[in-house]
């Protein structure tokens, strides 16, 4: 078939097939210019909206689990009296949960679990702004469901589970702690997600370690929230709005400073590794097939079989 016949066939194809053929042609042309075809194809997948509902569900589920552990510890102590869960365990539990979430579904949504992280990734141009509202809405739903479930299981336990300034700590001092703690958290997230600092699944250890350490020193002072949803979820459900602004303003300022520091340390974002960490890799090697089909180990192995890893036609 000559080029004229091929062009006529593409013109007669349904619009969705023509669009997919156009994407393939563009990728192949860029490959000729020296870019790895699989690299470009996979980068295109990061902007696919085919599995967006899975990503949103992941953020809701992950945030639910995080808030369930963070709020559940104090509520269990209040229910059974004293320190059934030791303080050291209680403040490190959220960090361990975040590590687990990053490992088991970070590839789906990027495991933000925090609107401040979503906004920071967007400011770094690693995450599309158009996806931020859905992520924040999903995080808020998950953050509100967790205390509702805990109340149904343990009953209402007063202020247990809320993030509040410690005894003798002024709101301004508590906010300052939240700024500093969030600065460290977002710096850790951005740093382990970009360029030479990208450590893949090992990022879970870095982020979890930071959350645990920050909790140990910051919990008695400000509650070490570092996450507006972790604080707002219980606040909305318990109806306790005293000093709630601390846990919005503090993390927001800390995150903005962290983005600025990231620019100083590494320059502008938007690199391959930063995008992969921020957006997840749900479509990476997405290859449905019969159960007998051998799962490929890399994009190059897929290409060697004469197969493709193109996104489905929209």
pLDDT in tens, 32-91: 444 444 444 544 555 557 788 999 999 999 999 999 999 999 999 999 987 899 999 999
Mean pLDDT, the chain, rounded, equals 82
Asked if the structure places residue 290 within a domain, the reply is no
Asked if the structure places residue 312 within a domain, the reply is no
Tokens of 263: 């620019």
SS (H, E, C) 111-169: CCCCHHHHHHHHHCCCCCHHHHHHHHHHHHHHHHHHHHHHHHHHCCCCCCCCCCCCCCC
- Whether the pLDDT of residue 167 is over 60: the answer is yes
The pLDDT > 70 percentage for the chain reads 73
DSSP labels for 33-84?
TT--HHHHHHHHHTT--TTHHHHHHHHHHHHHHHHHHHHHHHHHHHHH-TTS
104-118, 145-159, 267-281: segment of lowest average pLDDT? 267-281
- Whether the pLDDT of residue 104 is over 50: the answer is yes
Consecutive H or E run containing 2:
none
pLDDT value of residue 130:
93
Query: What is the mean predicted confidence (pLDDT) over 107-113?
Result: 92
Q: Please say whether the beta carbons of 45 and 283 come within 8 A.
A: yes
Q: What is the pLDDT of residues 242-273, one digit of tens each?
A: 899 999 999 999 999 999 999 999 888 888 78
| Residue 211: φ, ψ to 5° | -60, -40
Q: Please say whether the beta carbons of 159 and 295 come within 8 A.
A: no
pLDDT value of residue 217:
95
Asked if the structure places residue 46 within a domain, the reply is no
Asked if the structure places residue 1 within a domain, the reply is no
pLDDT value of residue 8:
46
Number of domains in the chain: 1
Asked if the structure places residue 201 within a domain, the reply is yes
Asked if the structure places residue 21 within a domain, the reply is no
The pLDDT > 90 percentage for the chain reads 58
Asked if the structure places residue 310 within a domain, the reply is no
- Whether the pLDDT of residue 282 is over 90: the answer is no
- Whether the pLDDT of residue 274 is over 50: the answer is yes
- Whether the pLDDT of residue 1 is over 60: the answer is no
Q: What is the dihedral of CA 95, 96, 97, 99, to 10 degrees?
A: 90
CATH classification of the domain holding 179: 1.20.1080.10
Range of 69's domain?
Answer: 52-279
Q: Is 306 helix (H, G, I), strand (E, B) or coil?
A: coil
pTM of the model: 0.78
Helix axes 132-154, 115-123, angle to 10 degrees: 170
Banded model confidence at residue 139, pLDDT cuts 50, 70, 90: very high
Distance, in Å, from the CA atom of 106 to the CA atom of 111, rounded to the nearest integer, reads 5
Asked if the structure places residue 33 within a domain, the reply is no
pLDDT greater at residue 163 or residue 199 = 163
pLDDT value of residue 174:
97
């Amino acid at each position: 078939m000559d080029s004229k016949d091929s062009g006529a066939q593409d013109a007669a194809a349904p619009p969705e097939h023509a669009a997919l053929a156009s994407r393939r042609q563009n990728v192949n042309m860029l490959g000729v210019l020296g870019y790895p075809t699989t690299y470009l194809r996979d980068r295109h997948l990061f902007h696919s909206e085919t599995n967006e509902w899975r990503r949103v569900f992941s953020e809701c589920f992950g945030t639910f689990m995080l808030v369930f552990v963070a709020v559940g510890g104090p509520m269990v102590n209040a229910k059974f009296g004293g320190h059934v869960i030791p303080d050291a365990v209680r403040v490190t539990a959220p960090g361990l949960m975040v590590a687990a979430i990053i490992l088991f579904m970070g590839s789906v949504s990027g495991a933000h679990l925090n609107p401040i992280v979503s906004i920071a990734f967007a400011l770094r141009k690693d995450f599309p702004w158009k996806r931020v509202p859905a992520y924040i809405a999903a995080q808020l739903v998950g953050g509100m469901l967790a205390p509702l479930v805990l109340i149904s299981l343990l009953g209402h336990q007063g202020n247990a589970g809320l993030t509040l300034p410690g005894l003798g700590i002024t709101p301004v001092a508590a906010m300052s702690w939240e700024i500093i703690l969030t600065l460290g958290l977002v710096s850790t997230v951005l740093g382990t997600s970009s360029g030479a600092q990208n450590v893949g699944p090992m990022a879970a250890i870095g982020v979890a370690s930071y959350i645990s350490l920050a909790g140990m020193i910051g919990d008695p002072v400000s509650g070490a929230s570092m996450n507006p949803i972790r604080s707002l979820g219980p606040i909305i459900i318990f109806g306790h709005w005293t000093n709630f602004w601390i846990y919005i303003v503090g993390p927001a300022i800390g995150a903005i400073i962290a983005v600025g520091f990231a620019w100083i340390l590494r320059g502008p974002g938007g690199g391959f590794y930063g995008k992969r960490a921020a957006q997840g890799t749900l479509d990476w090697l997405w290859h449905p097939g019969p159960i007998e089909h051998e799962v490929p180990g890399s994009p190059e192995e897929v290409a060697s079989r004469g197969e493709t890893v193109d996104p489905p036609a929209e």
